[in-house]
Structure 1
């Protein structure tokens, strides 16, 4: 039997030595997963004298080995948390990142301003994180989502089942032709990593996320160009689009929209670390 505090310290040490970015947090989440408790309860269990059995330690040890090899935490627990919703995730789908919550929040805010039943389209939905968040926080919104990759679409189907989101499989930049000129908000987390940046990508993403969700041509902006053209078709005059991009694309990604003359209020936004993270633009009337 091992005390929780000692287990947490040992787990965090192992993860830190393996180069995991947030070893203490990951250790706590893995312990909570093994003990089937809320992560916030881990510290309380230690105070109450709870100890880990040999079987529980063996299960944790296996998860630690996998995390030390940089398998994504969410693949180990099977769940990712995004704003106020939880998502089933695993091999074959892009793991939603905390910084994308800012883009989702922007979409929710602008959809709410559009009226009682705003029409929102989530392109490249992946796990369905943004679409599910929008429907969760704006139940009356008409939300549409699309994903090309078949395994990712299967994960999105699980996550969006019963939500009322219209989910389709297909090319994001040709989808929803019947909605042309009627959409209030288009939101997208497209692939945006340049092919030449392969070595700089975090191991968790490079080795475990679908490459279709990561890489987008020599400059990383191929999908952004397609998004600009398709959003201009989908949106009603005065409608808005928001798209995530790499932190080094704070000027080049907005320039894709500014260069066409179709958009006004083209702006870039930073994440909580002060890094360029997503652009927004309004279709000219």
Structure 2
């Protein structure tokens, strides 16, 4: 069977994606080629090329990516720490920078004996499932309001449980509501959250604007409307001395820690930077009871 050579086909795809304004054209072209060929990207250069059907499929996917459909929607998966998560329309695609918040949560939970961890605004379940994967002693809960996102999280949770990870309990509800996980009030060791925090009116990429669910993005005029309500819920959930980690936009490196410091329930608020040295998430500790 005649094959379509890999190198020139990839080169054309990279040019097409570059012209379309895709931020990582070579990576995305190689990921799509590896997906079509059914090989890891690390072994792509060992492939002989495409047959005609796969070449046509690759061209179709490159066209979709050039129209700024997210890469993860085209392949159906998003890598997150040691996991591959199923994603698609209706759920926020987990970002690499969120791995840092997950790593913080894992480190905090791993210091404890049988910790209880709650992931508020869980989305695809990325943070909750990463903690369950890397800290098997933890009892982990995730809360998600949007039904489509919750369906993706449940799919991912079932997959990870089948792979041997400790099951994560997923709850359908508003993460800011006082009755959500109310039975856990005062018993939780670690709360993590990647909430909607984009300030209204911000410019975002077409992948985000057109494909990420609005409910996972917009956080009011300063981006902190949801966070304000989450702090109250987290304060009730956490035991004295328990900790919270909150992801935020890089423009909130001062405003979000200041918000946490003004909340009477929290102390020791510290902001953390990502690998590009941008403000990325804030952590704090639940105050211990007086006396």
Q: Matched residue of 2:88: which SS?
A: coil
Alignment of 1:191 onto 2:189: no
The residue aligned with 2:181 is 176
Root-mean-square deviation (Å): 0.9
Q: Matched residue of 2:35: which SS?
A: helix
The residue aligned with 2:134 is 137
The residue aligned with 1:23 is 25
Alignment of 1:231 onto 2:238: no
**Number of residue-to-residue matches in the alignment:** 278
The residue aligned with 2:12 is 10
The residue aligned with 1:37 is 39
**How far apart are the structure 1 equivalents of 2:157 and 2:49?**
38
**How far apart are the structure 1 equivalents of 2:106 and 2:247?**
15
Deviation at 1:169, TM superposition (A): 0.5
The residue aligned with 1:264 is 267
Deviation at 1:13, TM superposition (A): 1.2
Checking the alignment, whether the CA contact within 8 Å between 1:78 and 1:89 is kept in structure 2 is: yes
Q: 1:148 aligns with which of 145, 148, 151?
A: 145
The residue aligned with 1:278 is 281
Q: Matched residue of 1:196: which SS?
A: coil
The residue aligned with 2:78 is 80
TM-score normalised by length of structure 2: 0.94
Q: Matched residue of 2:269: which SS?
A: strand
Deviation at 1:105, TM superposition (A): 0.2
Q: 2:64 aligns with which of 52, 63, 66?
A: 66
The residue aligned with 1:123 is 120
**How far apart are the structure 1 equivalents of 2:201 and 2:130?**
33
**How has the CA–CA distance of structure 1 residues 284 and 41 changed in structure 2, closer, same or farther, with 3 Å as cutoff?**
same
Q: Matched residue of 1:60: which SS?
A: helix
Structure 1 runs of 4+ aligned residues shifted over 6 Å read none
TM-score normalised by length of structure 1: 0.96
Residues 122-178 of structure 1: CA distance to partner in whole angstroms, max 9, x if unpaired?
000000000110011111210000100010000001001134101011111122111
Q: Note the residue ranges of structure 2 that are not aligned, 5 or more in a row.
A: none
Q: Matched residue of 1:102: which SS?
A: helix
- Worse overlay, 5-14 or 187-196: 5-14
Checking the alignment, whether the CA contact within 8 Å between 1:231 and 1:241 is kept in structure 2 is: yes
Q: Matched residue of 2:189: which SS?
A: strand
The residue aligned with 2:257 is 254
Residues 229-254 of structure 1: CA distance to partner in whole angstroms, max 9, x if unpaired?
11110000010000100000000011
**How far apart are the structure 2 equivalents of 1:196 and 1:6?**
41
Checking the alignment, whether the CA contact within 8 Å between 1:228 and 1:256 is kept in structure 2 is: no
**How far apart are the structure 2 equivalents of 1:27 and 1:139?**
36
**How far apart are the structure 2 equivalents of 1:227 and 1:59?**
44
Deviation at 1:196, TM superposition (A): 2.0
**How far apart are the structure 2 equivalents of 1:78 and 1:260?**
40
**How far apart are the structure 2 equivalents of 1:110 and 1:7?**
47
